[in-house]
Amino acid sequence: MKRVLLIATLLAFVSCVKSLPQLNENNIERVIKLMTAEEKARLLVFGNNQYEEDSTQVDMIAACKNIVPGSAGFTYPIWRLGIPSIVMADGPAGLRIAATRKGSDRTFYCTGFPVGSLLSSTWDVNLVEEMSAAIGEEVLEYGVDVLLAPGQNLHRNPLCGRNFEYFSEDPLLSGKISAAYVRGVQSVGVGTSVKHFAVNNSEVNRLSCDSRVSLRAARELYLKNFEITIRESSPWTVMTSYNYLNGRYTSEDAGLLKGILRGDWGYGGVIVSDWGGGYDARAQIAASNDLLAPGHNWQVKAILAAMQNGKLSEKDIDACVRRVLELIVKTPRFKGYEFSNNPNLLSHAKIARKAAADGMVLLENRSALPLQEGVKVAMFGTNSYKLIAGGTGAGCVNKAYTISLDKGLAESGFTLDVGTDEAYREFLDKERMRMEEVNAKRGWWYGDLPFDELPEAKLRKTAISAASSADVAVITLVRQAGEGRDRLVKNDFNLKPSEISLINEVTEAFHSKAKKVIVVLNVTGVVETASWKNKVDGILLAWQPGQEAGYAIADILGGVVNPSGHLPVSFPV
């Protein structure tokens, strides 16, 4: 008899669940009324870590994590009401997901596109929109719903580690380029997350740094670019920053979020915290920061406690829940889109190459460029053979390749000087073995350290020989940076002693033969050029141009593409 009653009870429960309304764009208010307090709290907290103290949720969380391996996070699903989990992933220079997966022999590469500083150097909103639509297509076909990009904080500090992700020191240029980026990505039916709101201009101590800014400076500079983006592109989400702003965490600042972003600018989309940003879950929800990432049980408990003791109003909770549900019903996952895992990477590589070349800036040219077809080029600098496509951390992309400058030049009809090539390859074989061991201890987050340069005696001998056999010298200087750290003045903003020696030895040898020397800057941000720019005959600012780097640089050096990039930031004299 007990077994019959149990079965009857289970059938009644299943029947009840089936009769519940399932979320759609027309019944959001009804669904909110049917949600329990705990369901509301969990929906406002990302699902990544909600199993920490509840083993019953482990399987559900694991299944959500496996939707798109390597993605940044996912919202908590409430299946009884037809609320699925949606997926968010980095990043600004192309989608960041895991390239390899358990149980699969194939790789899931994404296109490494040019970084933000290069895009803003194009001053071309149409090109940026075209390129970001290609990023959006990869987001869609790999099953991601929201891309955590673009980053658009101002380059207030030229040494900020994430300046490569950001667009400019100028709010108008930053806002226009960012709006174009958002329109492009969202044109294919996926969302963006404009970040980091606001006044996030450094990476050192980013969780405790307090940006002190007057209201006028904030309105006219640090917030103006965000305002332009909000008004001209309607991003699906906005991400708050890690830092304090005038003594308050941005994700807990009701004046910033409710007052300016929502009130003054009329923004109605979702606001999501940066991963681990903020401290007080109650204050974040009260300020209308709708989603807390990456999500923890203690945040759920804090929200529930605040609801029960009256420190969080039902109105504030429901407003956040409503915006999250409005986001969910717009997504490809909610609409049942069957993603292919096969975006058109070949087509996107061509777009990446075009954008990269269009954003390079010719800083100096004393009748050195363009190079005539077929000339013999002597390449100096170890990173001519190992260009850097993009920055580290969340801005990095798991791409199939990066085209080196020697490959780009050779395949564009130029002849490489054999002696220089052999000297560097012999050195690089040894250097690669040494650096693999060094970089293996650093972890992906910090990226690889660049290789050392040729020893000075070897360099001098190589330069003298190359000056007799080659027509022109090309020197590549690189810089790398990324999330969590800022650059330094010594050996980063300023050239390293080995780089100064490199310029001096090569220019002395080649100028003695009345031959030109060109420097390519494959850099993450501003470097000092005033002290050495008159020693060389040409300087090409290539930024970090993405996976097609070598081809795009060769397009400029050979005159296939006219250098038309403009500086989006100041290079100090």
Report the catalytic residues.
274
Contact 409, 178 (CB under 8 A): no
Q: What is the side-by-side strand order in the sheet with 538-541? A: 361-365, 538-541, 516-522, 472-478, 376-380, 415-416
Contact 206, 161 (CB under 8 A): no
Q: How do 244-245 and 248-249 pair as beta strands?
A: antiparallel
Q: What is the DSSP letter of 78?
A: B
SS3 category, 204: coil
What does each C-alpha distance from 409 to 32, 134, 346 come to in angstroms?
A: 60, 26, 20
The residue written with tokens 């074989």 in the block is 429
SS3 category, 190: coil
φ, ψ of residue 39 to 5 degrees: the values are -65, -40
What does each C-alpha distance from 397 to 52, 108, 113, 177 come to in angstroms?
A: 29, 11, 9, 21
Residue 99 CA to residue 111 CA, distance in Å, equals 11
Give the contacts of 193 (CB within 8 A, at least 6 positions apart). Answer: 88, 146, 147, 148, 149, 235, 236, 237, 238, 239, 272
Residue 316 CA to residue 198 CA, distance in Å, equals 22
Residues linked to residue 475 through DSSP beta bridges, in sequence order:
380, 519
Nearest to 188 by CA among 77, 68, 348, 326: 348
Q: What is the DSSP letter of 533?
A: G
Q: How do 237-240 and 191-197 pair as beta strands?
A: parallel
